[in-house]
Amino acid sequence: MKQEENFARPDAASGPGAYRQYAREWLHSHLPAHMRADSVDYRTPSLDECRDWEARMYQVGLAGMTWPTAYGGHGLSLREHLAVNKEVGALAMPESVSSIGKELAGPIIMAVGTEAQKQAFLPAILEMREYWCQGFSEPEAGSDLARLRTKATPDGDDWLIQGQKIWTSGAAKAHYCLLLTRTGTVADKHRGLLMFAVPMDTPGIRVVPIRSIDNKQSFAEVFFDQVRVPDSARLGAADEGWSAAIRVLSIERATNRMYRAWRFECELRQLVRAYQSEPALRGRLQEPGLRQAVGQVVSQIDGLKGLVERSVEQLQAGEPIGARGSLTKLYWSECHQAFASLALSMVADINPGHSALAQRAKAHFTQAYLFSRAESIYAGTTEVQLDVIAQRIQQLTKD
Amino acid sequence: MTMQSEELQPEEFGQAAQAVIAALQGQGPAEAAAAMADAGLFGICADEAQGGLGLPLAFAMPVVRVAGQMQLSYPLPEQIPASKALQGTEAGGQLLRGEKSLCVVMAAQAAGDWSGVARNGLQADYVLVQTDAGFALYDKAALRCQAEEMLDPEVPQLWVSTTGATPLLTLDAEQSQAFCADIKLLWAEYVNGLCAGALERTADYLQARVQFGRPLSAKQAVRHHLARMRLLLEASSAQAWRAQRADGCDAPREADSALAAALSQGAWVLEKAIHLHGGMGFTWELGLHRSLREHKKLDACLGAGALMRAVGADFIDRCEVTQ
Ligand SMILES: Cc1cc2nc3c(=O)[nH]c(=O)nc-3n(C[C@H](O)[C@H](O)[C@H](O)COP(=O)(O)OP(=O)(O)OC[C@H]3O[C@@H](n4cnc5c(N)ncnc54)[C@H](O)[C@@H]3O)c2cc1C
């Protein structure tokens, strides 16, 4: 591993190209082989290992790119953020264990939080001292989020929160919950919604992990039983909850994990190299049908890159991303599901006698296929995205 | 279109082209070519010294998109890059001035002979043929040609064989590669234009057509089809836009990928557009079939499948090289 001082961080004026080069060199020389999903030395990294890795990335200027320096960010533009993300994607590193904090809670706190909240929360997110979870979905409010019931009632200078969230990713490890509640009744729909930053160790909160089809427990039910929080935990004004939530969702759909296309490409490389590493499978890469299937995935990845890069250009030009995030979300989820299905059918040909690289690929893509089933569900299902595109992008009338 | 490029945005070229193409209604190919040449459409990318506008490909993209949207069957996507690739030659000047027209054949070799199909070459004067060695320009009169009217009786495809013919000139490897990337991107954007036009017409129709007491656009099944058409079109357009910005060794691969995507996704969009018009969609009069025919003719001479295979093979080979 090279010494830190060999890597001069480019200054703001150097532009995205220089930043990309810097990110590539730093990431390649610092990511340990056992954290690379395409390495034969890979083993599932612990939470602490992931935390330390991401904290280092932040320290060297590879996370918090666009956040203001006043809150610990690096004060750069989305173009540098994209440049770094391309390199993050190109290397098979672990998914962020704090993406909800960095990519959802952080931006929303910057948009609607008080100065004290910004100072308190933002640096802690970047320094990986605090993780967040997103408490939106409820048993009775999934796609129809505006029917959520979790109630916030004023009580002196405090609020009392009563209700239940479900499918809350990372709830068991989170320090804070970005919680969407209502002050009135369900009949108020999106009026009267209120957002909070709730410490997860507040008395009255109970987290019950849920086992998922990939045999993990990455999401949970979260129960709120007369949970008392001070008014200073409120994010934004009363009634601002819905617009804040919509903002969170459009960030989630448009720019969250911007590296996806480059990561899919990295995964595809891993799959092809696994075949190349094994004489018995190598010949199959000459088959026209397989080449066409690989070409199809590459072409879809190129389409996704186009959507992402265009969004960045539009955001840079000051255009709001709005509903266009639904295009990206729907495209990446379907593109990756199709790829994962292809990958699963390819790794079915790998057996215990094959190379270690091939074995690694089999383990990786079996897991990736199972996880990909969630991709058309979370962050708004396929049908919800299609509704958004029809209504807000294609602007189809109903009468 | 004689303004300075600093002041211009590519989209404005699309708007200008729209007005020019709209005025071509009812004109024959020669008059149409003269009008397009007058408006500077053929010379967008050719050097200013040669009578062109010397602009990057980004300025030609909205023009061919509009051509697709408006179902222009004139080989504009071929003639723009050919005017640039052949600039400085007699043929290049004739193409740029709209005096002659051209079609392009991506040929395959069989028993030592090169042959292939141009999407619509019946009216063409020149044929630019791609072989292993790159592109070669032929006088159409010197080639064995046969119109194929099965797919499109109005604007037939042209089967071409170069057996026994001598090219007027050949493009070197670098010129051939640049022309190939340019034309594939313009074809991709032309197909995206065909789809954009079809989507627009279909959305308008379904918002006007009342069944079950409401416009059909109120039905979720219909809305979701239209949303998917929009998604594929947006992705394919963003992909062509991105590919147009690629340079160096990425450019040919990106162009193949963008064209393969435009063709494969475009087929779904155009077929769905016809389907969503009900019985009306099956009529000659509605005219959506023209977009489908243009798409299928292009697909027949290039093949979305073959392009996808080339993209896949390129990716696989690169994995090896950098291992
Ligand atoms: C892995 C994973 C992680 C998640 N993480 C979080 C998290 O951290 N925080 C959080 O708040 N939520 C999270 N979610 C929840 C996710 O946002 C919801 O599951 C999603 O919004 C769908 O809601 P639902 O599960 O209630 O399904 P439902 O809304 O009940 O939908 C069931 C089915 O009906 C379809 N459907 C629904 N409405 C319509 C309609 N109008 N028209 C046509 N079809 C429709 C849906 O597309 C779906 O196929 C996560 C989900 C998953 C799978």
pLDDT confidence of residue A6? 67
pLDDT confidence of residue A3? 46
Please state, in angstroms and rounded to a whole number, the distance separating the CA atoms of residues A240 and B33: 58
Query: DSSP characters for B4-58?
Result: -GGG--HHHHHHHHHHHHHTTTT--HHHHHHHHHHTT-TTSSS-GGGTS----GG
Please state, in angstroms and rounded to a whole number, the distance separating the CA atoms of residues B302 and B119: 9
Please state, in angstroms and rounded to a whole number, the distance separating the CA atoms of residues A163 and A138: 9
Q: How far is B243 from chain A (nearest CA, A)?
A: 8
Decide whether A132-237 matches A258-393 in CATH topology: no
Nearest CA to ligand 1 atom 43: A383
Q: Identify the band that residue A156 occupies on the pLDDT scale cut at 50, 70 and 90.
A: very high
Considering only residues B17 and A14, tell me which one the structure prediction assigns the higher pLDDT: B17
Distance A138 CA to ligand 1 centre (A): 10
Cβ distance A272 to B315 less than 8 Å, yes or no, reads yes
Q: Domain ranges in chain A?
A: 14-97, 132-237, 258-393
A chain contacts of residue B323, beta-carbon cutoff 8 Å = 273, 276
Distance A136 CA to ligand 1 centre (A): 11
Pick from B203, B218, B238: which is nearest to A303 by CB?
A: B238
What CATH number has the domain spanning A132-237?
Answer: 2.40.110.10
Per-residue pLDDT, averaged over A161-165, amounts to 98
Q: Is the pLDDT of residue A116 over 60?
A: yes
- Indicate which of A143, A299, A384 best probes the interface with B, i.e. most B CBs within 10 Å of its own CB: A299
Pick from B206, B239, B316: which is nearest to A285 by CB?
A: B316
Residues of chain B with pLDDT under 50: 1-3, 5, 323
pLDDT confidence of residue A185? 92
A chain contacts of residue B320, beta-carbon cutoff 8 Å = 276
What pLDDT digit, counting tens, does each position of A234-289 carry? 999 887 888 887 877 777 666 789 999 999 999 999 999 999 999 999 999 999 99
Q: How far is A150 from chain B (nearest CA, A)?
A: 30
A258-393 is classed in which CATH architecture? Up-down Bundle (1.20)
Q: How far is B36 from chain A (nearest CA, A)?
A: 30
Number of Cα atoms under 13 Å in the Cβ half of residue B308: 24
Q: Identify the band that residue A321 occupies on the pLDDT scale cut at 50, 70 and 90.
A: confident
pLDDT confidence of residue A318? 87
- Write down the pTM of the prediction: 0.95
pLDDT confidence of residue B279? 97
Nearest CA to ligand 1 atom 51: A378
**B140 and B167 in contact (C-beta within 8 Å)?**
no
pLDDT confidence of residue A244? 80
Q: Is the pLDDT of residue A5 over 70?
A: no
Q: How far is A222 from chain B (nearest CA, A)?
A: 33
Look at the block and give the residue holding tokens 């996370």. Answer: A63
Per-residue pLDDT, averaged over A44-67, amounts to 96
Pick from B230, B237, B312: which is nearest to A291 by CB?
A: B312
What pLDDT digit, counting tens, does each position of A335-380 carry? 999 999 999 999 999 999 999 999 999 999 999 999 999 999 999 9
Distance A260 CA to ligand 1 centre (A): 21
- The three-class DSSP label of residue A132 is strand
Pick from A285, A303, A389: which is nearest to B261 by CB?
A: A303
Compare all CA atoms of chain B with the CA of A276 and give the residue at the minimum distance.
Answer: B320
Of all residues in chain A, the percent with pLDDT exceeding 70 is 97
In 3-state terms chain B splits into helix, strand, coil percentages (rounded to 5) of 60, 15, 30
